[in-house]
Structures are given as C-alpha cells and as structure tokens.
Amino acid sequence: MSLYYDAVSVLTAPATTGGSFKSRIYNSKTLKSSPAQVFALVTEASKWDVLLKEVIENAGILSLEPKLTPLLALLLVHDHLLSKNGIAAPATHPLRQAVERHKVRLKGEFTKARVRRACASLEDLQAAIIREKKAAGGAGISEAMYPRWVRVNNVKTTLDAQLQSTFASYSRVQSLAELTEGQHQLYVDVNVPDLVAVPPGIDFSSSPAYKQGEIILQDKASCFPAYLLLGDQNTQWEGDLIDGCAAPGNKTTHLASLLSSGASKQRSAKGPAIFSMDASPTRSKTLQKMVSVAGADKIVTVLAGQDFLALDPEDSRFESVTGLLLDPSCSGSGIIGRDDVPQLVLPTNSKKTETRGKKRKRRDDEREKDTDHSTVTTAAQSTSVDTERLTKLANLQTHIVEHALSFPAAKCVTYSTCSIHVQENESVVARVLASEVAKRRGWRIMRRDEQPEGLKKWKHRGIRSDASRPGGSDSAVDLSEEELDACLRCWPGDDEGTGGFFVAGFVRDEAAVRVAETDRSRIDDQRSPGSDVPDEYEDDEDEEEWEGFSD
C-alpha cells in the first residue's frame, strides 16, 4: 500500500523545493515506492478524477467504509477499475478489501457512467472525460491538455520513415487545435524540422521507435536552441560544438540529429564533434545513456562531471569549437507543472463519520489526514518573485555566456532558459552585449532576419519588462527594438502548446571587432591621469560578483 500513501503525500505536501512536480517526485528521498509508479498513478488518476468521483459517490462506499478517505478512495478505485493489475496491495490488506467488498457496485456505476456518455471503448471514454475537464476549466489549460511533442532523430531515421512506420495509423491534421484527445492524430510542426505533435496521453514507452532512440520526446520550445545554433543546414557546419549545461541530453542529441540531416550528411568522417558536459556526475550518467540510445556516440564526447566554467577556452581540444549551446540553471518559472500539483476533484462523503474520542497510534504509512474537501488542497501558488535568487541566477547565467564568448574560434552562441522572468532573459542579453568580451571580440545578437526560416516565423519575441505580470518588475532593459525582436519567447498556456521558454543567439561580426579595437586604441592613446573617459569604456569593477550555483 505504500504506493497509495506515497501518492497522497506528494499531492498534499507543500512544494518546499524547486522544480516541476515530476522532478520533485523523482528527487524525493522519502518515497518507499518507485517514483515512476507514483508519478504514473497521480497523472493517470488526474485524467479520470471526474468520472471516479461520480462512480464513488453513486456507489456510496465512503459512508460504508470509514477507513477510506476521499483521496485514498479515488486512487484505489482508479487502480481497481482501470489498472491491468488491479490494486497494488496484498489481497488481505484492509483498504484493498474496503474497495473490493463493493466491486459489483463500483463496476455497475462505472458501466452506467460510460453508457451515459455513449462511449463504446475506454479510449472514447477517456477522451470524453478530458473534454468535460477542459470545458469545466474554462480558459485555463491543464498540463494534460498540452500536446505530446515528438522529435524524429535523424541519426537513426528520417521523418518520412517514421510517418510510414510509427505514425502510419495516424491521420494528419493541419493545426494543433485540430488534435483531439484520445485520437491517433498527428501535426507536423512548421517551426522546427522533424518535429511532430500528437494528442496528450499517447504512450510511446513500449514503441520500438522510442526504445531504439528513433524518436525522442522533447517539448517544442526546447528544440529552439539547437535549431537556432545550426540553422537549416543548407551548408555543412564547420568546426566543433559545445553543449555546456547538457543533462539530460535532449539538446545534445538534437544537435547530433541536425548534423545528421540535410547537407551535413555529406560531412567528412572527421566532421563536427560535439563536446557535451554537465557539472553533476549523476546527471552526466543520464546524459551518457541518452547519447548512447540516440546513437550519437560517434559524434558526441561526454565530459562527465565537467563544469563548463572550469573549461579553458585555450585548451587545444577546443581550438576548433565554433558553436556553443548554453542552457544553464534557471528558476524554471516557465515549466508547465512547476508548483502545479494536479488538483484532483475528489468524491464527497454524504454521511460524515463521528470523530473518535480516543486517539490511536497509526502506522507511518497510515498518516493521511481525513478530509471532506472536494479538491486536494496544496500550498497556494505564490505570485511573489524571489528577487535575491533571480539575481544570483542572472549573475551565473551572464558569467556562463561571457565565458562562452571567449572561445577563440567561436562564431555563434545560443543562450536559453525555461524561465519567463526578464531578469534571467532579456536582462542577461543586455548585460552580455555590454560586456568587455562582447565589445572586444565583436559579438552582437543574431538578428531575426539571420535566424533559420522556421524561427523567423515565430511570433513571440522579447519584452522590455515584467510589469504586466503579477509580481513582475517594471524596470526596463536597455535593448533596441531590433535586439528585442531578435529574442524568441514561448509562453505557457497559450495556443502554441509549449512551456515558458526564452532563447537568443549571439554571433561574431568581424566589422564590429575592428570598430571595437579602433575605439579601444583611441581611448588608450587619450587616457592619462585625470582624463575623462566615458563610463561605458571603463571596466565594470562594481559588477556583482558571481556567487556560484544556487541549485
């Protein structure tokens, strides 16, 4: 029964740590059950909660079984009715017996609910429930309503091959809005090559293509950095690449996929190499595994446990590095599901049981508090912004990008976050462009007209301040309209089906290098004790010191 008590604990506990709901489950030190099982139970139950509430209430089991709380009842009845293996507990366990004593009544109410919705199959029934939940939620879109994005891995296959195999039974639609929950439909994305979307809920875990690394599940927004860096690949990429903050490996394998498509297929045996690294040894193991499954071993060299900031740009290994992809630690404020524990609609007990006068000792796995609430109540989402943490993160992010600009052969760098805060995004871009290394080496932002064709068409661009958002700052960043238009943004909850994301590209401009060097020489010639040199040319000694990793 630990599975159900673990699920209750993660649903009712306040979010005291950062990260998405899924990552908090997988990083938990207190769960007795497999994190994968807990996450699967919670997410699947959340898809059926409206129906399960109806079945449990009509069956009346809460008034007949005082040991069952509404939340435990919903989780247990879900597995009793919908799991292939039934309730994951011994047949003699009291709570399993409390449900199975009413199996005839529960089965009958479940059948009635399906008939009322005129659904011939479970797949049709789930689609009907999702539609009901969507209608009840109004304009809000829950995590379950986002499409499932699938990237075709060109290292092992092609989009055409997958359309004729993995997606052979899928009908093609022309927009995300046409995707219908529970249906085998497919939308081919217009912004990122070899990316498709299918309705939520479709499981690829047992698909041969997924197991063999031919398809990779990756949010559309996180595909932007690699595509922005390598472009449409009409010509062969010259030089090597670095993914500086790489785990779990989606962006590294996307780089490898792009290098394996188009004109890059004609590259020499010595063609571009990718150095991929993550400072965490544990996360590096995940990175190595993903690279291996994706078949990118021959292209990618994983530097396990390597901190990007500790790399020496002058190291001979990196003398041919011309492109760097940076997706450093951030607040994660754009992640769909961050601090958004599924709010299950729970059954109510028509007969409230009397509170017992005697206190009794309960086992650790029976500590769930009784509740008659109609939804699971969790810690309220805070609209306040932790400005101190954002400042530390922005300092780190700026430091990382400036370090990348110092690699001798570098000609293109992309910077991205899964944050919606200007302080981590446009403000970092402004600080980088104003840095000494950017001026000295001629770095500027990659303009919209220089971006790959698919991203030129992306409508969401940079913003000047957070003033329009709750808890946002009204301070504006010092970027021109052209520079803001060069920044790409994604917003969670809109009709694009992505999480919140930001990406910008930086490119070397030889003309800018010469101008910067000329100006620096002129200033050095004019400089003398007491001379009045414009502040923008002085070294920024007052810049906040980088305070290291905060996560």
Q: Residue 464 — pLDDT band, cuts 50, 70, 90? A: very high
Q: How far is the C-alpha of 456 from the C-alpha of 488, rounded, in Å?
A: 9
DSSP β-ladder status, 321-326 and 412-417: parallel
- Pair of tokens at residue 258: 């792009």
- Pair of tokens at residue 194: 């070899």
Is residue 549 helix, strand or coil?
A: coil
Q: Residue 474 — pLDDT band, cuts 50, 70, 90? A: low
- Pair of tokens at residue 110: 């479940």
Share of the chain above pLDDT 90, in %: 58
Contact 185, 178 (CB under 8 A): yes
Q: Residue 472 — pLDDT band, cuts 50, 70, 90? A: low
SS (H, E, C) 309-341: HHCCCCCHHHCCEEEEEECCCCCCCCCCCECCC
Is the model's pLDDT at 534 over the cut of 50? Answer: no
Contact 419, 484 (CB under 8 A): no
Which pLDDT score, from 0 to 100, does residue 468 have?
Answer: 63
CA 227 to chain centre: 17
pLDDT tens-place string over residues 256-287 = 999 998 645 544 456 789 999 999 888 899 89
Contact 300, 261 (CB under 8 A): no
Which pLDDT score, from 0 to 100, does residue 19 have?
Answer: 54
Which pLDDT score, from 0 to 100, does residue 128 have?
Answer: 85
Which pLDDT score, from 0 to 100, does residue 525 have?
Answer: 46
Considering 144-153, 277-286, 460-469, the range whose residues carry the highest mean pLDDT is: 277-286
Q: Round to the nearest angstrom and report the end-to-end CA distance of the chain.
A: 33
Q: Residue 547 — pLDDT band, cuts 50, 70, 90? A: very low
Is the model's pLDDT at 169 over the cut of 50? Answer: yes
CA distances to 54, 146, 234 from 133, in Å: 13, 13, 45
Average pLDDT over the chain, rounded to whole?
82
Interior angle at CA 342, CA 340 and CA 345, nearest 5: 135
**Cβ contacts of 74 within 8 Å, gap of 6 or more:** 45, 49, 52, 53, 56, 344, 346, 347
CA distances to 16, 133, 323, 357, 440 from 409, in Å: 43, 53, 8, 76, 14
Q: How far is the C-alpha of 189 from the C-alpha of 175, rounded, in Å?
A: 9
Q: How far is the C-alpha of 295 from the C-alpha of 306, rounded, in Å?
A: 22
Is the model's pLDDT at 13 over the cut of 50? Answer: yes
The verdict on whether omega for the bond into residue 248 sits within 30 degrees of 0, i.e. cis, is yes
Which pLDDT score, from 0 to 100, does residue 535 have?
Answer: 37
Least confident span in 432-446, 486-500, 525-539: 525-539
Is the model's pLDDT at 366 over the cut of 60? Answer: no
Own/partner contacts of 165-173, CB < 8 Å, gap of 24 or more, are: 165/209, 166/207, 166/208, 166/209, 166/214, 166/215, 167/196, 167/198, 170/198
pLDDT tens-place string over residues 210-246 = 999 999 999 999 999 999 999 997 778 999 999 999 9
Contact 5, 322 (CB under 8 A): no
User: What single string gives the DSSP state of each residue in 42-104?
Assistant: HHHHHHHHHHHHHHHHHHTHHHH-TT--HHHHHHHHHHHHH-TT--SS-TT-HHHHHHHTTHH
Task: Name the strand (E) or helix (H) holding 301.
Answer: strand 300-304
Is the model's pLDDT at 530 over the cut of 90? Answer: no
Is the model's pLDDT at 339 over the cut of 70? Answer: no
Least confident span in 107-111, 176-180, 336-340: 336-340
Q: Residue 466 — pLDDT band, cuts 50, 70, 90? A: confident
Interior angle at CA 417, CA 414 and CA 419, nearest 5: 150
For residues 274 and 1, which has the higher predicted lDDT (pLDDT)? 274
Which residue type, as a one-letter code, is found at position 512?
A
What mean pLDDT comes out for the span 477-482? 95
Q: Residue 255 — pLDDT band, cuts 50, 70, 90? A: very high
- Pair of tokens at residue 438: 């950017």
For the annotated catalytic residues, the residue numbers are: 418
Q: How far is the C-alpha of 327 from the C-alpha of 245, rounded, in Å?
A: 6
Q: How far is the C-alpha of 118 from the C-alpha of 128, rounded, in Å?
A: 9
Backbone angles phi, psi at 258, to 5 degrees: -65, -35
Is the model's pLDDT at 391 over the cut of 90? Answer: yes
pLDDT tens-place string over residues 179-212 = 987 789 999 999 999 999 999 878 888 899 999 9
Other C-beta atoms lying within 10 Å of the C-beta of residue 174 = 9
Is residue 20 helix, strand or coil?
A: strand
Q: Residue 519 — pLDDT band, cuts 50, 70, 90? A: low
What mean pLDDT comes out for the span 509-533? 51
CA distances to 242, 458, 478, 512 from 324, in Å: 5, 22, 25, 20
Least confident span in 147-156, 187-196, 267-276, 335-344: 335-344
What mean pLDDT comes out for the span 298-314? 96
Q: Residue 495 — pLDDT band, cuts 50, 70, 90? A: confident
Is residue 414 helix, strand or coil?
A: strand
Q: How far is the C-alpha of 124 from the C-alpha of 183, rounded, in Å?
A: 8
**Cβ contacts of 29 within 8 Å, gap of 6 or more:** none
User: What single string gives the DSSP state of each residue in 473-523?
Assistant: --PPP---HHHHHHSEEE-TTSTT----EEEEEEEE-HHHHHHHHHHHHHH
Is the model's pLDDT at 392 over the cut of 70? Answer: yes
Q: Which of 381, 280, 296, 372 is nearest to 328 (CA)?
A: 280
Least confident span in 50-64, 179-193, 346-360, 492-506: 346-360
Q: How far is the C-alpha of 231 from the C-alpha of 248, rounded, in Å?
A: 22
